[in-house]
Amino acid sequence: MKLREILKGLDILHSTADMETEITGISYDSRSTAQGDLFVAVVGTVSDGHCFIPAAAEKGAAVVLCQSVPQTDIPYVQVADSRYALAAASVNYFENPAASLVMIGVTGTNGKTTSTYLIKHLLETQLGAKVGLIGTNCNMIGSQELPTARTTPESYELQRLLREMADAGCTHVVMEVSSHSLVLDRVAGIRFRVGVFTNLTRDHLDFHKDMDDYAAAKAMLFSVCDAGVVNADDSYASVMTARAACPVSCYAINDENAELRAQQLQLLPAGVRFHAKTAAEAEEISLAIPGRFSVYNALGVIGCCLALGLTLRQCAEGLASAHGVKGRVEAVPTDGDYTILIDYSHTPDALENVLKTVRETCGGRVVALFGCGGDRDRTKRPIMGRIGTELADFAVITSDNPRTEDPDAIIAEILAGVTASAEKYIAVTDRVKAIEYVIEHHQPGDVIVLAGKGHETYQEINHVKHHMDEREIVAEILERRKHK
Tens-place pLDDT, residues 429-465 = 999 999 999 999 999 989 999 999 999 999 999 999 9
pLDDT at 152 over 80: no
Residue (of 78, 68, 65) closest to 12 by Cα position = 78
For helices 380-391 and 407-415, what crossing angle results, to 10°? Answer: 60
pLDDT at 205 over 70: no
pLDDT band per the 50, 70, 90 thresholds, residue 208: low
The pTM (predicted TM-score) of the whole model is: 0.85
Query: Between 48 and 205, whose confidence is greater?
Result: 48
CB-based burial, 72-103: b 16+ in 10 Å, e otherwise: eebbbbbbebbbbbbbbbbbbbbebbbeebbb
pLDDT at 207 over 80: no
pLDDT band per the 50, 70, 90 thresholds, residue 349: confident
pLDDT at 153 over 60: yes
Query: Between 324 and 185, whose confidence is greater?
Result: 185
- Segment 417-438 shows an average pLDDT of 97
pLDDT band per the 50, 70, 90 thresholds, residue 357: confident
At residue 336, the 3 state secondary structure works out as: coil
Q: What is the pLDDT of residue 151?
A: 66
Query: Between 15 and 151, whose confidence is greater?
Result: 15
- Segment 12-31 shows an average pLDDT of 97
d(CA 255, CA 28): 46
Q: What is the pLDDT of residue 173?
A: 98
Q: What is the pLDDT of residue 298?
A: 98
pLDDT at 48 over 90: yes
Query: In degrees rounded to 5, what are phi and psi of residue 15?
Result: -150, 140
pLDDT at 204 over 60: no
Query: Between 392 and 324, whose confidence is greater?
Result: 392
Calculate the alpha carbon distances from 226 to 32, 103, 190, 442, 482 in Å.
Answer: 36, 10, 11, 51, 57
- Per DSSP, helices labelled H in 94-136 are 112-127
Mean pLDDT score across all residues of the chain:
94
pLDDT band per the 50, 70, 90 thresholds, residue 210: confident
Weakest-pLDDT range from 169-173, 180-184, 257-261: 180-184
